[in-house]
Structure 1
Amino acid sequence: MVPEPIDSQEPLDAYSTVVSTVARELTPRVAAVRIRHRGREGSGSAVAFTGDGYLLTNAHVVGGARSGQVTFADGTATSFTVVGSDRLSDLALVRADGTTLEPATLGDSDTLVVGQLVVAVGNPLGLAGSVTAGVVSALGRSLPTRDGDAVQIIEDIIQTDAALNPGNSGGALADSRGRVIGINTAVAGVGLGLAVPINTTTLRIIGALMRDGRVRRAYLGLVTNPVPVPAGLRERTGQDQALRVAEVMQGSPAERAGVRRGDLVLTAAGRPVTVAQSLQRLMFAEAIGRPLQITVLRNGAMVDVIAEPTELSNQAR
């Protein structure tokens, strides 16, 4: 029996409609990036951030290069300069020459839920304008990053099963409304892709890159792990989680302030501390050299300490 021909005018199903609409919206706003630095070539993707040529990508895509080339979906190619790069967040900002590309709309990754539909747009393996779709597989993943001797954990990493391949790095991860909620950063395995979230913290990082070309961070010198708050204290504070101090770096502001290994960090600057990002949100330029009150639980007693964060350098750990 010969199958009936498919009616080309038949409407798309709801899933296909969403993915194709996001693809149509975002593909013109995601460029292919090519870098040549010290005899080596690299490639990736970048997302249009403003209408006057700024594009957002990964720090590991640009590496140590100061310039490169971007190619847009319509085939237009132009050179760019690196405005700023921050390896500790794996974000970089570049500016394309002589272009007025329509920017992508940024969303807020803090509103995502596991199982939510997401669409990835990038240039994997040099295949421009590639689109894949999947779901948010998990939220709150951590990704270690390093800049010299300085190590930081990027918190709230988005895990997705949308297919990512080399070259997707720096591309867009978008929600069903076409809002960019992540910048694809790594392929951890088959069906396991990771993206740097777009949230208030990363927007501050992007703003610093645009303004200063770098991100100044404060350094406290703590290694912590999130743990449940003891039941009795939970009732008193209304706080479900806090940070257990696993290590205090020698000579660090935290050590000088008297923070000890095993302390349970409850608040910093008067705000509840529940995940590592709770502290990292405070560790920007304005915190350098200023008193920071930290409340910890130690041997069943609440203890207040005052630390003065220093500026994070490549020698800080």
Structure 2
Amino acid sequence: MNAIPEPRIEPVRDAQDPLDSYSESVVRIAETVTPHVAAVQMEVRRRDKAFATGGGSAVVFTEDGYLLTNAHVVANSDGGHAAFADGTRTEVDLIGADPLSDLAVLRGRLTVPRPVELGDASRLRVGQLVVAVGNPLGLAGSVTAGVVSALGRSIPVAAGRNRRVIEDVIQTDAALNPGSSGGALADSTGRVVGINTAVAGIGLGLAVPINATTRRIISALLADGRVRRAYLGLVSTPVPLSARDSMRTGERHGLRVVEVLPGSPAEAAGLRAGDLVIRAGGQPVANAQSLQRLLFADAIGVDFPLAVLRDGSVLELIALPQEMSG
């Protein structure tokens, strides 16, 4: 009768042994970013009373105490309270919000930790390591790690009875849950390249990118408390053109229309799901960010040409962008 082999016992690693390189990276990023991420509880203030409206996370991004978060985190609020991992607490006031980008700015009334370093999401690559820091389900200072799953997403999101589109988001497999919204998405250098949003559903990791367009939005919020945006009303995804279409049009990439929102300027212009937008406002559009750059205040109510590939033909459509309402 054969003897049952004894289980192999692996030696316990000494506590001083170095971590593997992946763990070292995650630990370093978490230690760099976590002190600058607050748990926020938002409220509406009426005379001497305050009523809670919701909560999430926020990231300090200036030396004078401004914090970046999601617009849906601060919806229907006047301000609230922020608490940091080192025990720092302060009241915060709402400076401004932009529902289209899902970004908002708060300011602490008292001294807050130093700011994070903002990065550039345009340099991200699919498969790249990212770390999310936030306060999901009230669990302060939670860290999850993953990779960039996709770039340039446009996501339609239900908001009460209305629908809106969050453009050019980063998709990651780092787990996000309610409370993660407004937290930091950092790259391997510890720079914050996105503001996490869990508005699309539990477990789906999405983040608003930090790039040239969102920096312009943040500047407008700091200066005016709002962003005047032009609105087309389409959901799109970036795609490469075929060799034949590229030769015909002179463009290498375009935006495939996934959905045209009912009653939108895009619908009025004749845009359809399946169309491939190759130029907008006379400029090539290779991703949602390149389209967003063209849709600020100066595009409202002005003829906006769209060059579209449909059934092998190039169509020239004219949209009339509306001002995006809050």
- Could you tell me which residue of structure 1 aligns to residue 21 of structure 2? 14
> Do the aligned partners of residues 291 and 183 (structure 1) sit closer, same or farther apart at CA in structure 2, a change above 3 Å counting?
same
TM-score when normalising by structure 1: 0.83
- Could you tell me which residue of structure 1 aligns to residue 230 of structure 2? 218
Partner amino acid for 1:161? D
CA contact (8 A) 1:227 1:243 kept: yes
Are 2:77 and 1:65 aligned? yes
Alignment of 1:81-100 (within 5 A): 81-100=93-112
| CA drift at 1:103 | 0.8
- Could you tell me which residue of structure 2 aligns to residue 24 of structure 1? 31
* SS at structure 1 position matched to 2:198: strand
> Do the aligned partners of residues 2 and 269 (structure 1) sit closer, same or farther apart at CA in structure 2, a change above 3 Å counting?
closer
Identical residues among aligned pairs (%): 59
Partner amino acid for 1:73? A
CA contact (8 A) 1:60 1:90 kept: yes
- Could you tell me which residue of structure 2 aligns to residue 194 of structure 1? 206
| CA drift at 1:153 | 2.2
> Do the aligned partners of residues 44 and 140 (structure 1) sit closer, same or farther apart at CA in structure 2, a change above 3 Å counting?
same
CA-based RMSD of the aligned residues comes to: 3.3
- Could you tell me which residue of structure 1 aligns to residue 59 of structure 2? 47
Q: Distance in 1 between matches of 2:316 and 2:241?
A: 17
Partner amino acid for 1:27? T
| CA drift at 1:19 | 1.2
Which of 187, 201, 207 is residue 219 of structure 2 equivalent to? 207
> Do the aligned partners of residues 228 and 168 (structure 1) sit closer, same or farther apart at CA in structure 2, a change above 3 Å counting?
closer
CA contact (8 A) 2:169 2:207 kept: yes
Number of aligned residue pairs: 312
* SS at structure 1 position matched to 2:14: coil
Partner amino acid for 1:17? E
* SS at structure 2 position matched to 1:103: coil
> Do the aligned partners of residues 250 and 204 (structure 1) sit closer, same or farther apart at CA in structure 2, a change above 3 Å counting?
same
> Do the aligned partners of residues 294 and 3 (structure 1) sit closer, same or farther apart at CA in structure 2, a change above 3 Å counting?
closer
| CA drift at 1:231 | 4.9
- Deviation digits for residues 146-180 of structure 1, max 9, x if unmatched? 67887442233222222323221111111111011
Partner amino acid for 1:135? V
> Do the aligned partners of residues 310 and 148 (structure 1) sit closer, same or farther apart at CA in structure 2, a change above 3 Å counting?
farther
Which of 307, 314, 320 is residue 295 of structure 1 equivalent to? 307
> Do the aligned partners of residues 313 and 230 (structure 1) sit closer, same or farther apart at CA in structure 2, a change above 3 Å counting?
same
Are 2:126 and 1:114 aligned? yes
- Could you tell me which residue of structure 1 aligns to residue 42 of structure 2? 35
Partner amino acid for 2:84? F
Q: Distance in 2 between matches of 1:3 and 1:225?
A: 49
> Do the aligned partners of residues 228 and 119 (structure 1) sit closer, same or farther apart at CA in structure 2, a change above 3 Å counting?
closer
Which blocks of at least 5 consecutive residues in structure 2 are unaligned?
1-7, 45-49
Q: Distance in 1 between matches of 2:84 and 2:42?
A: 15
| CA drift at 1:61 | 1.3
Which of 278, 294, 304 is residue 282 of structure 1 equivalent to? 294
Alignment of 1:169-184 (within 5 A): 169-184=181-196
Alignment of 1:156-175 (within 5 A): 156-175=168-187
Partner amino acid for 1:273? V
| CA drift at 1:243 | 4.5
CA contact (8 A) 1:36 1:68 kept: yes
TM-score when normalising by structure 2: 0.81
CA contact (8 A) 1:87 1:145 kept: no
CA contact (8 A) 1:88 1:151 kept: no
CA contact (8 A) 1:88 1:146 kept: no
Q: Distance in 1 between matches of 2:307 and 2:64?
A: 45
Which blocks of at least 5 consecutive residues in structure 1 are unaligned?
none
